[in-house]
Structure formats: C-alpha cells, structure tokens
C-alpha cells in the first residue's frame, strides 16, 4: 500500500447531496428542496444573533445550559437529560459512534433519512434495511429484522421523505417487543408540525433504551445555524456527552436558538400556516392527478406515474425557478418531495405542475 487507508466502510459512503438552491440563468427562485421554513428565521433569533456579535472573542458555553433550560421549560422535560448538537445530524453521528461499530447491526427503514446509513457506515456497522408498507414504517417488519447483533433502530416520525407518521400505539408495540439492549432512536425532526404531540418524549420517560431527536432547522427556521437536540435516559446522554466536543455549538447559534425556542408565537403561527398550506397543496395536486400520502410534516411527497414523468416535471419546475427534491436515492424515483411554501408559493407550484401536465399529459 502506498497511501494511508481509511477504516473499513468509509469508502462505501456515498456523499450526501443537499437540495438544489439555484438554476443557471433563472433569477426568481422558489427553493422547496430542503424543507426550510418559508418565513425565514424568527426576528427574535435574528436579534439575538446580532447581539452575540460583540462577544465573538469568547468561547461558547460548553454545557449549553441556557438552550437546554429553554427546551426543558417548553417541553416539560428534565434539562440534564437534554443534549444539544451541531444539527441533529451530529447527534445521529454521536449515537452511531457510541452504540454502533463493526459487527453491530443498525436497522433503518426502506425510505428512511439517509444520514442514519451514512453515520452507521462511518462507524463500521452493518446496515439492515427494513421494507416499509406503502411508504409507512412497518413495525412488524422491523421486529422481524431484529437479531442478537442488533444494536440500534432509527425511525423518523414523521418520516423524511415520506411525511407519514406512525401512531403511538405502533411505537409502544415496537418498544415493548424490542430487546432492552437495543437503542431505539425516534427522530422527531418534523414533530413540531404535529400539534399537541410530544415527538415520543413519553417513551423516553418510560424506557431506558429510547432516545428522541429534534431540530431547530425546520419549524424554527434555523437550518443555517445548525442546532439540534436530543432527549434520552441519563445513562445514554452521559455517554453522548463523552463523545461530544466541548464547543460543538457556536455562541451565536446558542443565543439565536434559545431566542427561537422562547418565541412561542412564531411556532404557533408557522404551524398553522404550514398545515393549512399543506392541505391546500395536497388537495389541489390530487385534483390535477398527482397523489400524495397524508403528510404530518412541512413537505409533501408527490407521486407521479413513473420516474420519467417525475424527472420531466422536475425539469419543467426548474426551468420556472421552482426547486424541489428528487428522491431516487431514497428508493422513490417516481416521486418528488416538495417543501410546503406559503400560499403564494403553493399557487406558483400548482400553476407550474398544471402547465407541465397540459404539455405532457
């Protein structure tokens, strides 16, 4: 060998490709490719960010106590069992680093979020892909994939890119029938869009092997700042804190994140706006013959007749400056994932899809 070699598994990782943000020659872009908040970041967070500018010479808090206190207060959780990460992505990586590894099987679902696979591979673990039932997580299929080597199970609920949610009854069954040595990760990146739901926190309270992940990247409009958080049993949080760097979140991100979490009106308004626009977009797309599953998130998974039709529609949308997400890498080549925009954006998307279908019925 003539050069250093990475650990086994690393070179099998396919680079993650984020949502498109520009099209050459098109000015008026409507970016619906990364499930971002169409209203932008809360004004409260922008102000906190500006105020943080004068203390940039200081290292950030290493225990994130202000942000954890705000999250604990809002969600009725124990602050010492919250961990914050540079996006929830970082927490997925900590979990894999700590609980996966060579010979450990990590279960993810057919259309599950890609980062579970990437970080499990980076840890050298074995991936076990479980089929979904028509784009819904299938608890029975997960249970039948568990072996003595299973170390972790990742479920996004609601799922990305499906938008579908499984019930608390299904989660309760999964948790009850899974060996207590397996870490079950309930990824609630989109849980904020489900009014009155705790994202699975009740299961964390009741079990020693369940972790909930959340993010400020979606509902809270702070994807660019990279703030996520997790809630788990104390013994798991203590482990994750050992692999976490002391300054993994910058001071401006902590300040803006805490301000956003305390901005309850922002969330209430945006949730109502998203859920109304989502219902409208789904209904009008269906009227055009483009079906989608009921979504509990801030996006719809639009299903076309074929991969060719989905890609042709995407090309047409791009030519009009509307950027959505192809999801072939999630095993859904005949679908396009569309972030829910505001009502004016919905009208623009619908007009574009209508003109595409008229052109190529």
Ligand X SMILES: Cc1ncc(COP(=O)(O)O)c(C=O)c1O
Residues 6+ apart with CB under 8 A from 322: 29, 30, 32, 348, 349, 352
Q: Which is nearer to ligand X, 174 or 189 (CB)?
A: 189
Among the listed residues 77, 189, 261, 277, the single contact to ligand X using CB under 6 A: 189
CB of 156 to ligand X, least distance (A): 4
Q: Is 192 in the site for ligand X (CB under 6 A)?
A: no
Q: Is 41 in the site for ligand X (CB under 6 A)?
A: no
Among 143, 158, 257, CA closest to 213 = 158
Contact indicator for 325, 111 with CB cutoff of 8 Å:
no
> Where do we find the tokens 């979504």?
295
Residues 6+ apart with CB under 8 A from 154: 92, 106, 107, 108, 109, 112, 113, 116, 185, 187
Q: Is 87 in the site for ligand X (CB under 6 A)?
A: yes
Among the listed residues 37, 88, 93, 178, the single contact to ligand X using CB under 6 A: 88
Q: Is 113 in the site for ligand X (CB under 6 A)?
A: yes
Among the listed residues 217, 292, 298, 339, the single contact to ligand X using CB under 6 A: 217
Among 321, 317, 328, 303, CA closest to 354 = 317
Among the listed residues 150, 215, 295, 298, the single contact to ligand X using CB under 6 A: 215
Q: Which pair of structure tokens corresponds to residue 36?
A: 């971002």
Among 300, 316, 246, 294, CA closest to 32 = 300
Of 14-22, 43-51, 85-93, 167-175, the segment contacting ligand X by CB under 6 A is 85-93
Q: Is 156 in the site for ligand X (CB under 6 A)?
A: yes
Among the listed residues 228, 232, 233, 257, the single contact to ligand X using CB under 6 A: 228
Interaction site with ligand X (CB under 6 A): 35, 87-89, 113, 156, 160, 187, 189, 215, 217, 223, 228
């Amino acid at each position: 060998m003539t050069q250093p070699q990475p650990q086994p598994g690393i070179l099998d990782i396919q680079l993650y490709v984020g949502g498109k943000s520009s099209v050459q020659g098109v000015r008026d872009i409507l970016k619906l490719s990364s499930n971002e908040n169409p209203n932008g970041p809360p004004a409260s967070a922008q102000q906190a960010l500006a105020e943080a500018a004068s203390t940039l010479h200081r290292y950030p808090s290493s225990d994130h106590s202000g942000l954890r206190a705000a999250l604990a207060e809002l969600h009725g959780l124990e602050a010492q069992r919250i961990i914050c990460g540079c996006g929830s992505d970082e927490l997925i990586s900590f979990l894999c680093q700590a609980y996966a590894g060579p010979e450990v099987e990590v279960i993810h679902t057919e259309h599950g979020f890609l980062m579970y696979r990437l970080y499990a591979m980076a840890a050298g673990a074995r991936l076990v892909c479980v089929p979904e039932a028509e784009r819904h997580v299938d608890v029975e299929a997960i249970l039948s994939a568990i072996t003595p080597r299973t170390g972790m199970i990742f479920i996004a609920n609601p799922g990305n890119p499906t938008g579908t949610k499984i019930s608390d009854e299904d989660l309760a069954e999964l948790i009850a029938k899974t060996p207590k040595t397996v870490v079950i990760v309930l990824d609630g990146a989109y849980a904020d869009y489900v009014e009155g739901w705790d994202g699975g926190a009740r299961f964390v309270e009741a079990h020693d092997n369940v972790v909930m992940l959340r993010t400020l990247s979606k509902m809270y409009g702070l994807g660019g700042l990279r703030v996520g958080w997790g809630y788990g049993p104390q013994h798991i949080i203590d482990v994750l804190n050992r692999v976490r760097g002391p300054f993994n979140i910058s001071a401006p991100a902590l300040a803006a994140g805490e301000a956003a979490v305390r901005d309850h009106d922002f969330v209430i308004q945006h949730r109502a706006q998203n859920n109304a626009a989502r219902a409208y977009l789904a209904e009008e797309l269906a009227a055009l013959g483009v079906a989608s599953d009921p979504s509990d998130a801030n996006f719809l998974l639009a299903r076309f007749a074929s991969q060719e039709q989905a890609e042709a529609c995407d090309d047409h949308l791009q030519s009009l400056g509307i950027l959505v997400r192809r999801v072939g890498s999630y095993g859904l080549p005949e679908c396009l994932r569309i972030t829910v925009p505001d009502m004016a954006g919905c009208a623009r998307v619908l007009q574009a899809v209508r003109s595409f279908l008229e052109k190529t019925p």
